[in-house]
Amino acid sequence: MLLSGVIEGFYGPPWTPAERIALFDRMASCGLNTYLYCPKDDLHHRAIWREPYGPTDVETLAVLAAACRARDIRFVYGLGPGLDIRYGDHAEQQRIHDRFTQMLGIGCDGVALLFDDIPDRLDPADVARWGSLAAAQAQVANSLCAWVHTLHPHALVAFCPTPYCGRMALAHHGGEGYLEILGATLAPEIEVFWTGPEIVSREIPVAHVRDLAAILRRKPVIWDNLHANDYDSRRIACGPYAGRPLALRDEVRGLLSNPNTEFPLNEVPLRTLAAFVHTDGPWDPRRAYLQALQEWRPSFDTVHGPIALDDLVLLGDCFYLPYEEGPRARRLYDQARGALAAGSPSWRDDAAAFLADGGRLRDLCGRLSTLRDRALFHALHRRLWDLREELDLLIRVVEARLQTGDALPPFHSGAHLPGTCRGGMITRLQQLLAQHPDGAFTSAHDRARQDDDSWERRGG
Ligand code: GDL
């Protein structure tokens, strides 16, 4: 059976127990079967992995395990000892077993050893003993697997390699031949995670996965970061599960999504993943997205009444997928660009269209502050605020242009003073480098110098 479901494996605040129960309900209702617990910022998962959980945490995890069991969902517990483990030290292996004894004891039915995002070098004693990082890690995982299977023959055992995507493998992250050594030495019953060609993969082609499977000597479990947003606090990934052909389902052992950090924002990612897993085809991600938004819409009830589906689509399209906005957002962007373009013969048409659609979206962002579902509002709030602010500014500029004629006059607004508008250290640092469409960064020195001069003139 294909493993399908959710990885709580992002950086940032882990989900609350109540959110996880809501997750399991959603998973059960749409037929997702596996949950992997491994929030990077559960201190016991990585930073203090050697320390056993205290009784309160154990009780919390036991409740989750029971909730999964009641819904026929596999509860896999993941441990990330890679930041500082000494692979050859027997006591370290014992500590790993101790943690999993604790977790298997509360009813989890799968274990995972995760070696992602760790230093890719070995302690000299381990180099002498194992020869490579891959061999050292495989040995720890094999010993865990053998031990777990003596106690629980059907428990899932999974492993995340240090190079976990195509780009890392090409860069020989983890050492020369890491994946080949892993494929040859890791016990065949251990599942291996993989995020695709990239950490956040726009597409995961069948050929890519087949090549990998040949090296690993097993089909991978996809750890899908398509909907993760922990790497950029201004974004949400609310678009559909996309960029993966249906045929991928036959090439992998599982498809698990590591989605948005804010739990309430994951309705579309989860519903469309489930639709992808279960559809008899054909597969149309946009259709699945529209369907999922329709199902999500009741949560968007405000004190002034419901939100129209059309408005929700426009909003969702602004927070779509990592590499693309949805079509309605793209249209809005083109209208705004056209309305500002110098010498464009159609700028007035674009301006009118932008004022209509942009104004609607700006007002919607305001109205959503009265969402009855306050958890949803809190999860959305910062992004809604940012979007509304930028739209509001653009609307004022376009209105000023419409009044003065063809030229775009410099626009001053008492509500957008330098420093309070797009200010702060992070913005200033971002402005030091310009990124080009091919991904390259170059110095934005001249621009930054102008900013610095104006900063100094303001007495900053
Ligand atoms: C990663 C991390 C993951 C994080 C994600 C998105 C894996 C295997 N590890 O590299 O914890 O949430 O990127 O930022 O994906």
- How far, in Å, from the CA of 10 to the mean position of ligand 1? 6
pLDDT of residue 397: 96
CATH 3.40.50.300 assigned to 300-404: no
Pocket test for ligand 1, best of 116, 167, 231 (most atoms within 8 A of CB): 116
Q: Classify strands 34-37 and 3-8 as parallel, antiparallel or unpaired.
A: parallel
pLDDT of residue 353: 98
pLDDT of residue 459: 57
- How far, in Å, from the CA of 324 to the mean position of ligand 1? 20
DSSP one-letter code for 15: P
- How far, in Å, from the CA of 322 to the mean position of ligand 1? 14
Per the residue annotation, which of 41, 117, 373, 451 is the catalytic one?
A: 117
d(CA 94, CA 146) in angstroms, rounded, equals: 13
pLDDT in tens, 63-111: 999 999 999 999 999 999 999 999 989 999 999 999 999 999 999 999 9
DSSP one-letter code for 220: P
Of 104, 113, 105, whose CA–CA distance to 155 is shortest?
A: 104
Please identify, by atom number, the ligand 1 atom nearest to the C-alpha of residue 160: 8
- How far, in Å, from the CA of 361 to the mean position of ligand 1? 32
117 is catalytic: yes
Q: What are the structural domain ranges in the chain?
A: 3-280, 300-404, 425-457
CB atoms < 10 A from the CB of 221, how many? Answer: 26
d(CA 406, CA 277) in angstroms, rounded, equals: 52
pLDDT of residue 88: 87
pLDDT of residue 460: 46
Pocket test for ligand 1, best of 6, 8, 10, 192 (most atoms within 8 A of CB): 10
| Residues with a CB atom less than 6 Å from ligand 1 | 9-11, 40, 116-117, 160, 164, 195, 199, 223, 225, 228, 230-231, 258
Pocket test for ligand 1, best of 6, 159, 199 (most atoms within 8 A of CB): 199
Asked whether the domain spanning 300-404 has the same topology as the one spanning 3-280, the reply is no
Q: Atom 7 (ligand 1): residue with closest C-alpha?
A: 116
pTM of structure: 0.96
374 is written with which tokens?
């306050």
Pocket test for ligand 1, best of 160, 257, 258, 261 (most atoms within 8 A of CB): 258
Alpha helices in 279-373 (DSSP H): 285-296, 309-318, 327-340, 347-367
Q: Atom 9 (ligand 1): residue with closest C-alpha?
A: 116
pLDDT in tens, 356-404: 999 999 999 999 999 999 999 999 999 999 999 999 999 999 999 999 8
Buried b (16+ CB within 10 A) or exposed e, 371-395: beeebbbebbbebbeebbbebbbbb
Please identify, by atom number, the ligand 1 atom nearest to the C-alpha of residue 10: 12
- How far, in Å, from the CA of 420 to the mean position of ligand 1? 32
Q: Which residues of the chain have pLDDT under 70?
A: 446-460
Please identify, by atom number, the ligand 1 atom nearest to the C-alpha of residue 230: 14
pLDDT in tens, 430-445: 999 999 999 999 998 7
Q: Atom 4 (ligand 1): residue with closest C-alpha?
A: 10
- How far, in Å, from the CA of 195 to the mean position of ligand 1? 9
Fold classification of 3-280 (topology level):
TIM Barrel (3.20.20)
- For residue 289, give the amino acid letter: Y
**How far, in whole angstroms, is CA 296 from its chain's centroid?**
20
pLDDT of residue 447: 63
Within 8 A by CB and 6+ apart from 305, the residues are none
Q: Quick one: which H or E segment has residue 270? A: helix 267-278
d(CA 85, CA 116) in angstroms, rounded, equals: 13
pLDDT of residue 26: 98
- What are phi and psi for residue 265, nearest 5 degrees? -90, 10
Q: Atom 14 (ligand 1): residue with closest C-alpha?
A: 231
Within 8 A by CB and 6+ apart from 406, the residues are 343, 347
